[in-house]
């Protein structure tokens, strides 16, 4: 993962244990239903996902992101921070 972007993402996202569930975390990032989300956190997450895709030789378009891949990276970060294995 991109170290600088990941550190910045972790700095702007509240403590992971403050979210009731994975769905609350994804809603905070604008990846689940809801109107209020952190645009800044979502933009950084898209940049992290683009770097992960580039590292794995997968195509990624900033103008129309692959939201399935973005959610997958968000879930991975969530589970790692919660102390469990990635899901």
Domain for residue 75, yes or no? Answer: yes
Domain for residue 87, yes or no? Answer: no
Domain limits for position 34? 3-82
**Number of domains the chain contains:** 1
Domain for residue 14, yes or no? Answer: yes
pLDDT of residue 2: 53
Q: DSSP states of the chain as a string?
A: --HHHHHHHHHHSPPGGGSSSHHHHHHHTTSSS-S---HHHHHHHHHHHHHHHHHTT----SSS--HHHHHHHHHHHHHHHHTS---
Domain for residue 31, yes or no? Answer: yes
d(CA 87, CA 73): 10
Task: List the pLDDT tens digit at each of the 87 positions of the chain.
Answer: 457 888 899 899 999 999 999 999 999 999 998 789 999 999 999 999 999 999 999 999 988 999 999 999 999 999 999 886 655
Domain for residue 8, yes or no? Answer: yes
Domain for residue 23, yes or no? Answer: yes
pTM of the full structure: 0.86
């Amino acid at each position: 993962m991109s170290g600088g972007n990941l550190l910045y993402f972790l700095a702007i996202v509240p403590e992971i244990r403050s979210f009731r569930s994975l769905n609350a975390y994804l809603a905070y990032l604008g990846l689940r239903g809801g109107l209020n989300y952190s645009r800044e956190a979502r933009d950084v997450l898209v940049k992290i996902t683009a770097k992960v895709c580039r590292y794995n030789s997968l195509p990624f378009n900033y103008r129309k992101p692959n939201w399935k891949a973005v959610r997958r990276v968000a879930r991975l970060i969530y589970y790692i921070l919660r102390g469990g294995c990635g899901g």
